[in-house]
Chain A
């Protein structure tokens, strides 16, 4: 049961410095190549291509409905791409290789009366697919305790999962996802509904995981700013299309205008980035056309 080689030692995750962030070329953990997705007659993703490497923190930025969740579901094999392919560790993704992805879904709703402690939920991250009743074992208990300590949730271990606050639940869910020792951790809008401080703490935790423990972290957010300081790479989604690269390469007026199909300006306000629509009469026209199409 104990796999010391794969298990993460997280106790000092947050304080670890990024070792050689832009050093040697690392192996690609995940690559999407020309992925198209149709959902109930609508093209949700179109020609999405990008790659992320071990030890990198990648932000997936896009507004609601930009296709972030759909993209993750395709990576996880929960939704099929109509064309293009998903590569995990350089090989076409299979049911087996997808097992090694850690995933924290958006909006996990847990009823307050569930008879489940945080430690039970984290434990299920290790062996939810196994049959039979889990026998209490020291190795399992230690692994869970260590993981909870790593994400700074030791004090929550015996609390009911349904009564945790948003930030506390995110920590527990991250611990749950990390239990299987994944090399790729995907998080869907973990900062939604979090206050600024808990949000920043979660980002720091994830950055520590990526840079200190060589996990590839892929995280969706609708606001780019909380991630600016830790992000190695950004995948910007708009209208089902994607642009990827470093922040400097992607978050530029020309690139984003092309992506949105509509002129935008990128403003830098005291180190924060604001992406706003450019004033253009053409733009209003396109918007109305779009609305008209939806009505049909």
Chain B
């Protein structure tokens, strides 16, 4: 499991989990799960197109996640945000269907793009992942305060001169960047699980942003590490383990938070009654 062949896998997956945990925090805070699902799925369509045109998959992923993000931003300026996201996703997938209909062979590659191919990452791919991951983290660090403020209270951010449309665009571009980084490794559908489950769990447990981000990253890392190990041992697809473990983490955190709250309430109530 820890042979030299697997080193690349561990390295790439760890990078992806770290950025998923961090960016996922903002995704959940902004209530943007749909966007986090839509952009990777759009990127998938682009990858299909790229393989048809003979350009690199990464280029197709990048171009289409960017295009998807910009379409959401453009349609979302007039009209409901979730409608814009839904329309963007179907338009991108429609294009993907068109590209696929033009090409001859696709199936195994598509499965990998959707569900990931952690086992068998090449050295150059790892390098790209790590570099893009570092860029993503740098972008989050730069945008940290505007993103946090505008995600929590858009009105307050507006008084500080932060236009919510600008922050939204920056956020969409960030999701596009993260998508391009992660999809070759974990696949379009599982990047999404990795962004939502751990971050949702962390926000149920902690009310401090910094703690929640750390917690979210930690949960994402554990999820990925456990999944690689389980996938290696069972030969089942890693996507199954990532999806289920992330979901379980969320459910456990919600239950724990509810239990803590109940205890706090009964203690307070006892205290108040005793007064």
Residues of A within 8 A of B (CB): 38, 40-43, 111, 113
A83, chain B: closest CB distance, angstroms: 12
What does the 1/0 interface line of B46-63 toward A look like (CB < 8 Å)? 000000000000000000
Q: Are the C-beta atoms of B265 and A41 separated by less than 8 Å?
A: yes
B114, chain A: closest CB distance, angstroms: 34
Chain A residues with Cβ below 8 Å from B269 are 38, 41
Report the interface size class on chain B.
Answer: under 10
Tell me, yes or no, whether B266 is within 8 Å of chain A by CB: yes
Of the A-B pairs whose beta carbons lie under 8 Å apart in the complex, a sample of 14, sorted by A's number, is: A38-B269, A40-B261, A40-B265, A41-B264, A41-B265, A41-B266, A41-B268, A41-B269, A41-B272, A42-B268, A43-B272, A111-B80, A113-B79, A113-B80
Chain B residues with Cβ below 8 Å from A43 are 272
B82, chain A: closest CB distance, angstroms: 12
CA distance A41 to B79 in the complex (A): 41
CA distance A42 to B268 in the complex (A): 8
Residue of B nearest to A38 (CB): B269
CA distance A40 to B261 in the complex (A): 9
Chain B residues with Cβ below 8 Å from A111 are 80
Chain A residues with Cβ below 8 Å from B272 are 41, 43
What does the 1/0 interface line of B71-115 toward A look like (CB < 8 Å)? 000000001100000000000000000000000000000000000
Residue of B nearest to A111 (CB): B80
CA distance A41 to B265 in the complex (A): 5
CA distance A40 to B264 in the complex (A): 9
Residue of B nearest to A43 (CB): B272
CA distance A152 to B266 in the complex (A): 50
Q: A41-B269, A113-B80 provided; 6 other pairs, C-beta below 8 A? A: A40-B265, A41-B266, A41-B268, A41-B272, A42-B268, A111-B80
B118, chain A: closest CB distance, angstroms: 42
Residue of B nearest to A40 (CB): B265
Chain B residues with Cβ below 8 Å from A113 are 79-80
Chain B residues with Cβ below 8 Å from A38 are 269
CA distance A38 to B261 in the complex (A): 15
Interface residues in B234-275 (C-beta closer than 8 Å to A)? 261, 264-266, 268-269, 272
A89, chain B: closest CB distance, angstroms: 33
